[in-house]
Amino acid sequence: MPGKDIRDLPRYPGSVRVEYIRQEQNPFVFTRLRYLSLAKLDIIRGYYRVAFRSKNWMVANAEFSEGEWAFLVVYGEREAQVKIEPHSRGVTRLDAVLSKTFPEKKPALKEIPRSEPRYAAALLSAILSIRDTDTRWHLSADSRREPTLRFAVSY
């Protein structure tokens, strides 16, 4: 099965991944995994209770209903819903849905070269000479020339 396991939420040893779906829905990424195992439900449940603690997942909710265990676990900004239930005779199914937010894309910072003292002095002088006016500033940076500062003052 193409796809990959969740790094901090390990696969039960010997289980087989039979489903992997990754969806991006801004601002979230959802990953759905399904595993099948020949191990008994209580053995797998015990394994994940230990795995949650050892991998620092906080158990926000744990429920047991009609033969199915359902966990909601949180790790930082990620959440995972983990369900463990009988699948068919002698087979246990584990479904996990992980959600996390996209990392915020921060605009690339442009490196501003250190200007010569004369540019800094001119800028400071211009700023200090303008008082109580509507000022519009524009910094143009042409790769072929030194950066220049342009401003317009309205009275």
Domains plus CATH for the chain? Answer: 16-101 (3.30.310.80), 117-154 (no CATH)
Of the candidates 11, 30, 19, the one whose C-alpha atom is nearest the C-alpha of residue 97 is 30
The highest-confidence range among 31-35, 115-119, 132-136, 137-141, by mean pLDDT, is 31-35
Residue 128 predicted with pLDDT over 90: no
| Model confidence band, residue 61 (pLDDT cutoffs 50, 70, 90) | very high
What are the residues whose beta carbons fall under 8 Å from the beta carbon of 112, sequence distance 6 or more? 141, 147
Helices (H) and strands (E) in the chain, counts: 2, 8
- SS3 per-residue string spanning 43-54: HHHHHHHHHHHH
